[in-house]
Amino acid sequence: MFILVVSAGIFAGGGILHAQYNVCNYHAYKDCVGSSIYWFDSCSNRQDLYQDCSSFGQTCQYGQCVASIQPVYTAHQKISCSGNNLYWYDSLGAVNSLYKNCQDANSCTQDSCSGAKCSNVLKCDGSTCAAGLADYNTYCQQAQPNPPPNDVNNLMVSFVAKTDEASQQWNKNAQVSPDSTVYFMIALNNNSDTAYSNVNISANIPGEISLLGNLKVNDAAFSGDIVSGISIGSLEPKSAKSITFEGKTQSFSEQSQKQATITVNSSGAVRSDFVNLDFVPGQSTVAAVSQPAEDTGITTFLKRWYLWILSGIVLIFLFIIVFRRVSSNV
C-alpha cells in the first residue's frame, strides 16, 4: 500500500505551473514515540501504534522494546548536612541515617554543620555560656577563640630554576648540560591573616643532579637535607620566604626531559610545585673546547713575551753578521 501526494503550482491567470507527485510507502519503518513504537510511512508521517513497551515494563529505544535499566540503590552514598548535624544520604537524594551529631560536650561552643563537616567555634563573649560556669572556666580562661584552620589556598608555592648564576631571571624550564651547576629557588607566600606553623619542605630531584648544597633561607646559610626534608619554622601572616640551593650535574649521554618537584607541608596544608629540566648531553663540552682550540697557538705565543725579545736579539745579530760580510766584500 502507498499514498500518493499531489502538489501543484498555479499561475495568477489560472494556468498550472508544475505538478509534483510524492509516493509515501505505507508502514515504511518503526520508531519510538515516548515508550511506544509507531509505524511511519516513507514520508515520515506517523501512522498507527505498533506496540506499547510500557505494558511489558520496558522502554522504547531505536524502534524496539528494551529492558529498563534501573540504577542500583545505595543506602549510604554521600554525607551532607541536614540541620546542624551530618547525615547519610542515599542514591535517591533522601536522608537515610545520622552520620555524626555536631553537638559537642562544650557548652561554650557554637555548634553547626556546613560544607559537609561539623563546626564547633568557641565563643567566650557570653552568647553561648555565662562567665563563671564550669565550661567557661575550663575553656575561656584565655578568652581567645580557637583559630580557624589554615586555608591551603592562602599558601602560595613556586619552584623555579636557572643555570646562569649571574642571571636575575628564574624560569619554570631549564636546559641542563653535563658537569654543570643548576640553581633552584622555592618561593613561599602567606596571603592569609594567620600564621602557618611548622613549615616543612622536601624535594625530589632527578638522579642526573647530585651534590646538592649551598642551602639558604632568605639568603642566610641553612643546614639540612632538602631531599629528606627541612623545617623552616613558621610563615607569618602576609609574609614571604625564599629557599635556594644548588645541584651539580653528573655526566650523561642521553637526552631526556624530567621534573624536579617540591612539597610544602604546614598544619595540614599541603602544596607542591615542579620545574621542567631538559637534560642535553655534550652541550657544555662543545662550548668549552671549541673556542680555545682556535686560539691556542697564537694566544699562547703572545702571552710568552720573552720569546719576542729573544727573537728580536737573534734578528739583530743576523743583521750585523750579514752587514759585515757585505762590507768586507766591497
Choosing from 12, 37, 67, the residue where a domain stops is: 67
- Identify whether 307 is part of a domain: yes
- The answer as to whether 146 is a domain residue is no
Last residue of a domain, one of 37, 67, 97: 67
Are 6 and 20 spatial neighbours (Cβ–Cβ below 8 Å)?
A: yes
Cα(67)–Cα(59) distance, integer angstroms: 6
Tell whether 43 is covered by a domain.
yes
Contact predicate 324/217, CB 8 Å: no
Secondary structure of residue 135 in the 3-state scheme = helix
Q: Phi/psi at 81 (nearest 5 deg)?
A: -80, 145
Task: Tell which of 38, 67, 96 closes a domain.
Answer: 67
* Residue 293's pLDDT band (cuts 50, 70, 90): very low
Q: Is 155 exposed, middle or buried (0-12, 13-18, 19+ CB in 10 A)?
A: buried
Residue 56 sits in the same domain as residue 120: no
Instruction: Flag whether 8 is in a domain.
Output: yes
- The verdict on 186 and 258 lying in the same domain is yes
144 assigned to some structural domain: no
Q: Does the residue 73 lie in any domain?
A: no
Please indicate, yes or no, whether residues 130 and 212 belong to a single structural domain of this protein: no
201 & 102 share domain: no
Q: What is the largest CA-CA distance in the chain?
A: 142
User: Does residue 286 form part of some domain?
Assistant: no
3-state helix, strand, coil in the chain (%, to 5): 20, 45, 35
Specify whether 263 is located in the same domain as 158.
yes
pLDDT tens for 150-179 read: 666 788 999 999 999 999 999 999 999 999
Question: Distance between terminal CA atoms of the chain?
Answer: 141
0.75 exceeded by the pTM?
A: no
Number of domains in the chain: 4
C-alpha cell recorded at residue 265: 607541608
In our burial notation (b when 16+ CB lie closer than 10 A, e otherwise), range 176-190 reads bbbeebbbbbbbbbb
* 3-class secondary-structure state, position 64: strand
User: What pLDDT, in 10s, does the model give residues 8-43?
Assistant: 454 445 555 555 567 899 998 999 999 999 999 989
State the residue range of the domain holding 131: 78-139
On whether residue 145 sits in a domain, the answer given is no
